[in-house]
Amino acid sequence: MIPAAFDYQKASSVEEAVGLLKEHGMDAKILAGGHSLIPAMKLRLNQPGILIDISGISELNGIKVDGNTLVIGANTTHGAIAKSAEVASSAPVLAATAGVIGDVQIRNKGTIGGSIAHADPAADWPAALIACNSSIEVMGSGGSRTIAAADFFVGIYETALEDGEVIVAIHVPKVPGTAGSAYEKFFQPASRFAIVGCAAVLEMKDNFCTSARVAFTGVADTAFLDEKVSAALENQTLDDATIKAASELAASDAEILGDHFASEEYRQHLAKVFAERAIRAAIANA
Amino acid sequence: MKKQINLTVNGKAYSHEVEPRTLLVHYLRDTLRLTGTHVGCDTSSCGSCTILMDGQAVKCCSLLAVQADGANITTIEGLAENGTLHPLQEGFREEHGLQCGFCTPGMIMTAADLLSNNADPSEEEIRHALEGNFCRCTGYHNIVKSIQYAANKINKKEVVS
């Protein structure tokens, strides 16, 4: 399979990429690692007239800690995030999530910015980023702005990015040392996408949960924070009965997807199972 | 409009003009005639197109040749040195790690990435590293043994088979 013909330009700065996006409008697409975009172009689901390659922009690459915030450049690969000591200590659930995306080869090339811009409803990042209360820094011709991860993912392959905006970085508040966190997913065995993925970040005081954020991906047309499950855990002693009762509420407000991988009923069941696994795993590493 | 790319493949420098839509795997196979890198699923699932790009295993059916501008690439053809098989190639021969052989170049290149990061992987680590490579013949057992053979040989351990 060969993509339709297109033009190619390499941007050397974010400003240049934004300028090129403005110049070419809807005909342009941003190329980072290409591991979401190129397969779509090979299937001719996407036929941009020009690709703007941002992979050489060094300011978009790398992971740093800025005070209480972990800042992950948009061009950072999943593999680099999985192996990062900063991520492991500041937001371990993101390292865990990065490590189960695709396979070794995909993680070596695919980027966090590219993945979230593509916004596949079964991608792994959205649930983890929402559970960590992250925000997405973007740059357009009017300047930069940040969007809460919970507002960024709008629908199937749809984000809150405006025309002409480029993702610059992901800002993640450091997960407190007293918190436990986990990402548990049910793999689609060939594509490795999440049929259901659940991320949980629980702030714990001994066995008492002071704050809970449980988010899902793969379940509905976009990832979401499960407010019911989170509320059922917050300000509770997390005994067996509380965990089970909270998990039973999983995805109860969601419009659940049904497809040839998993029916609506099966996905709802998986959401409960994987909520419980993520909650228990988060408690275990608090 | 064609773009100029300059890259190193198996230690040799190349410079070509390519259409932006040329996939890296087709550049390697059709332009450089390095047909050891295979196109299997053509959707970045099966791993038979795996090569090393700047030392990391990548699936080149989902990369453009223009993305390899400036890169240092190793394909299966670049592993043997002066006619001596790489320990992984030897391992696949000795341990019957292939049947039809279609997936083998990708398996070996992924294993080369693994061994460069982890010289003495456990069986579980080997199986985990191969999650992006499909073999439809062997059932993977002999592939794992082949990689263990190579790790042992590289680490100069006694090979027990």
Q: What is the pLDDT of residue B114?
A: 98
Whether the predicted pLDDT of B158 surpasses 70: no
Q: What is the pLDDT of residue A236?
A: 98
Whether the predicted pLDDT of B159 surpasses 90: no
Structure tokens at A206: 């001994």
- Residue B138: pLDDT band with limits 50, 70, 90: confident
Q: Nearest C-alpha of chain B: how many angstroms from A141?
A: 26
Q: Which one of A105, A108, A193 makes the best mutation probe of the B interface by having the most chain B beta carbons within 10 Å?
A: A105
Size of interface A-B (CB pairs under 8 A): 80
Whether the predicted pLDDT of B157 surpasses 90: no
Residue where the block lists tokens 């993925």: A197
Q: What is the pLDDT of residue A191?
A: 85
CA distance A120 to A106: 15
Whether the predicted pLDDT of B27 surpasses 90: yes
Is residue A28 a contact partner of residue A51, using CB atoms and an 8 Å limit?
Answer: yes
Structure tokens at A19: 């300028």
Task: Please state the three-class secondary structure of A110-140 as a single string.
Answer: CEHHHHHHHCCCCCCHHHHHHHCCCEEEEEE
Could you write out the DSSP letters of every residue in A183-219? Answer: EEEEE-TTT--EEEEEEEEEEEETTEEEEEEEEEESS
Task: Please state the three-class secondary structure of B109-137 as a single string.
Answer: HHHHHHHHHCCCCCHHHHHHHHHHCCCCC
Residue B58 has its nearest CB partner, among A55, A105, A192, at A105
Q: What is the pLDDT of residue A189?
A: 85
Structure tokens at A226: 């499960």
What is the pTM assigned to this prediction? 0.96
Residues of chain B with Cβ-Cβ distance to A6 below 8 Å are 20-21
Smallest CA-to-CA distance from A192 within A81, A104, A256 is with A104
- Residue B156: pLDDT band with limits 50, 70, 90: confident
Q: For B68-102, how does the pLDDT look when each residue is reduced to its tens digit (9 = 90+)?
A: 999 999 999 999 999 999 999 999 999 999 999 99
CA distance A229 to A41: 38
| Ramachandran quadrant class, B151 (left: phi over 0; alpha: psi -120 to 50; beta: rest) | alpha
Residues of chain A with Cβ-Cβ distance to B58 below 8 Å are 105, 108-109
Q: What is the pLDDT of residue B109?
A: 98
Smallest CA-to-CA distance from B59 within A38, A270, A9, A120 is with A38
ipTM of the modeled complex: 0.95
pLDDT averaged per 10 residues, chain A (length 286) = 97 98 96 97 97 97 96 98 97 98 98 98 98 98 97 97 97 94 94 95 96 98 98 98 98 95 97 98 95
Is residue A226 a contact partner of residue A219, using CB atoms and an 8 Å limit?
Answer: no
Whether the predicted pLDDT of B161 surpasses 90: no
